[in-house]
Structure 1
Amino acid sequence: MTTPLRVVIADDQALVRTGFRMILAAAGIEVAAEADDGLTAVDAVRRTLPDVVLMDIRMPELDGLEATRRILASGGDRAPRVIILTTFDLDQYVYAALNAGASGFLLKDVSPEHLISAVRMVRSGDALLAPAITRRLVSRFARGDVNALPGGPDRAAQHQGLGTLTARESEVLRLIARGLSNAELAAHLHLSEATVKTHVARILAKLGLRDRVQAVVLAYETGLVSPGEDGTGQG
């Protein structure tokens, strides 16, 4: 029997929490707790041990960034996956949230289907970037704004592990940075999804990264991928 997927919703807007709870409940996903500020969110996660946390960035008492750091730092191997909730107008805290270990982010006006899919995706160990946000992320790096993330200028030196990647692993990382899913990677590279997953796992291990989102950030910061490439390495 499959263990029910459990979620904590942290947002200071009651209507947002209610809407998400109704969408998730209709899909058979349990909302273990709700929180209207960061401190309550940290406590709720500690008490209920959810699989996924939907985390707003701007909240009273403790913002979503620091709440994410605390949750992931104290959870160890049992730490939940955190999805950052944001409006269309991004701010720098979103980038910092990725470094804090968040598994991706969604726009607050996400469709019910996409919300459900995203929660299930990160629970299975994958990571996501909403398409609109991915475009903003790429645009930010296209302007050379590496300081958008803490420690940006030192990233290349901090991750010398890039040099340990095989040619195939480097190719996979470039495609991950362009937003390809495992299924799309498998089709493009003519490999099985199992083989792709093995490549991805090795890349993350070599680079000391938590998930695919951090791999995307690293790829752009170090210049492994340049904005404007078409995702297949053909430019």
Structure 2
Amino acid sequence: MGVRLVVVDDHRLLAEALASALRLRGHRVLAAAAPSSGAAELVVNRGPEVCLWGTAEPAAPGAFDALERIRTERPQTAVVVLGPVTQARGIASAFAAGAVGYVRHDERIEGVERAIVRARAGEAAVAPALLKEAFAELLDPADQPDDEAARLLGVLTRREVEVLVRVAEGEDTRLIAAGMGIASSTARTHVQRVLVKLGVGSRLEAAALAARTGLLDRAGRPGGPGAPIGGSAGRAGA
């Protein structure tokens, strides 16, 4: 069954070309547009299942302001960004603005289609390897940790911090459970608590927030040496 889509790209011709290719593959493309033509309003009004949002400059100021509006006014629409992978901060911004997926702009149409279908199913539409590569720059230790990182560490238990680090490393529920020696249902519960405490709606948003604030550098890595993870050394894991 095809997906109901709106396709947006910086270049309208590319948006229309993508729309044509996806129609040929059985999907229902409601509209193709460029951001300057009121794409956010178009998405909100048309109500697609998925919006494919192409951009050449994900790190540009305000590049994803429209995604925040879509997340607020049409949260049931899943947004997948199509863009370059050379700008880690831009990719983080896409997730923070509400995107549920990110696909390389040189991906084949089959890969784009897989991401769209996964997004409609409520899954994260991004390859763990791509996420790790894109966030490598952001995960480097910062000279001056962000105060926001300390605040976030203060509201999470040590176990929740470990879960967050594993989420940021691209681990799914099964891998988190195996790595921590807990049941998948318990791991899923920990993930949901982390999302609630951070005030985000998805694992990708949580990873982006953790990377931007320097929380990951403060927390360390699962199983790695060094100080215990978590903002409060004496707190028990949930």
TM-score by length of 1: 0.73
In structure 2, the partner of 1:138 is: 136
In structure 1, the partner of 2:108 is: 111
Unaligned runs of 5+ in 2: 226-238
Amino acid across the alignment from 2:122:
G
Q: 1:212 to 1:116 in 2, by over 3 A?
A: same
1:56–1:64: 8 Å Cα contact kept in structure 2?
no
Residue 168 (structure 1) aligned with residue 159 (structure 2)? yes
Quote the Cα distance in structure 2 between the aligned partners of 1:113 and 1:188.
32
Q: 1:233 to 1:24 in 2, by over 3 A?
A: farther
Q: 1:192 to 1:128 in 2, by over 3 A?
A: farther
In structure 1, the partner of 2:234 is: none
In structure 1, the partner of 2:68 is: 69
Amino acid across the alignment from 2:107:
V
Of 205, 215, 234, which residue of structure 2 is paired with 1:214?
205
Q: Which has the higher helix share?
A: 1
Q: Percent identity?
A: 29
In structure 1, the partner of 2:39 is: 41
SS where residue 125 of structure 1 aligns?
coil
1:65–1:100: 8 Å Cα contact kept in structure 2?
yes
In structure 2, the partner of 1:149 is: none
1:38-60: CA deviation from partner (whole Å, max 9, x where unpaired)? 4332232122211221112359x
Aligned positions of 1:10-159 closer than 5 A: 10-11=8-9, 12-15=11-14, 17-19=16-18, 21-23=20-22, 26=25, 28-58=26-56, 64-75=63-74, 78-90=75-87, 92-130=89-127, 131-132=129-130, 134-142=132-140, 144=142, 153-156=146-149
Quote the Cα distance in structure 1 between the aligned partners of 2:82 and 2:179.
31
C-alpha displacement at 1:172, in angstroms? Answer: 1.4
Amino acid across the alignment from 2:202:
D
Greater RCO, CA 8 A, separation 6+: 2
Amino acid across the alignment from 2:172:
S
1:8–1:34: 8 Å Cα contact kept in structure 2?
yes
Amino acid across the alignment from 2:170:
G
SS where residue 174 of structure 1 aligns?
helix
C-alpha displacement at 1:203, in angstroms? Answer: 1.0
Rg (Cα) greater in structure: 2
2:88–2:134: 8 Å Cα contact kept in structure 1?
no
Amino acid across the alignment from 2:13:
A
C-alpha displacement at 1:21, in angstroms? Answer: 4.8
Of 176, 180, 183, which residue of structure 1 is paired with 2:171?
180
Unaligned runs of 5+ in 1: 147-151
C-alpha displacement at 1:85, in angstroms? Answer: 1.6
Q: 1:168 to 1:82 in 2, by over 3 A?
A: same
Quote the Cα distance in structure 2 between the aligned partners of 1:92 and 1:178.
16
Quote the Cα distance in structure 1 between the aligned partners of 2:123 and 2:153.
21
Tell me how large the CA RMSD over aligned residues is. Answer: 3.4
